[in-house]
Amino acid sequence: MRVVDTTRTRPLPQEPEPAKRGLAARVSLGRVFAPVPSEFLLIASTALILTGFGLVMVLSATSATSEDAGGGPYDAVIKQGVFAVIGIPLMFLASRMPLRFWKRMAWPALIGATVFQLLVFTPLGITNDGNQNWIRIAGLQAQPSEFLKVTLAIWLGYILYRKRTLLADWRHVFIPAVPVGIAVIGTVMAGHDLGTAIILVLIMLAGLFFSGVKLRVFLLPLLLFAGGVAYFAISSPDRMRRYMSFLSNDCLADYYGDCYQPLHGIWGLAGGGVFGVGLGNSKEKYSWLPAAANDYIFAIVGEELGLIGCIVVLMLFAIFAVGAFHIVRKTDDPFVRIAAGAITVWIIGQALLNIGVVLRLLPVFGVPLPFLSQGGTSLMSVLIACGVLLSFARTIPHKARSAASPSPRGRITR
Give the bridge partners for 326, in sequence order. Answer: none
**What pLDDT was estimated at residue 166?**
81
Give the pLDDT confidence of 179-237 residue by residue, as tens digits: 999 999 999 988 888 889 999 999 999 999 999 888 877 887 788 888 887 787 777 77
Strand order in the sheet with 131-137: 125-128, 131-137, 140-142
What pTM, to 2 d.p., does this model score?
A: 0.86
**What pLDDT was estimated at residue 411?**
42
Q: Answer yes or no: are the C-beta atoms of 149 and 160 closer than 8 Å.
A: no
Q: How far apart are CA 5 and CA 220, in angstroms?
A: 80
Give the pLDDT confidence of 250-284 residue by residue, as tens digits: 777 777 777 888 888 999 999 999 999 999 889 89
Please, which residues have CB within 8 angstroms of residue 84's CB and are 6 or more apart in sequence? Answer: 51, 55, 379, 383
**What pLDDT was estimated at residue 81?**
94
**What pLDDT was estimated at residue 398?**
67
Q: Could you say which residues of the chain have pLDDT below 50?
A: 1, 4, 6-9, 15, 17-21, 23-30, 400-414
* DSSP states along 31-47: HHTPPPPHHHHHHHHHH
- Average pLDDT score, the chain: 84
**What pLDDT was estimated at residue 46?**
97
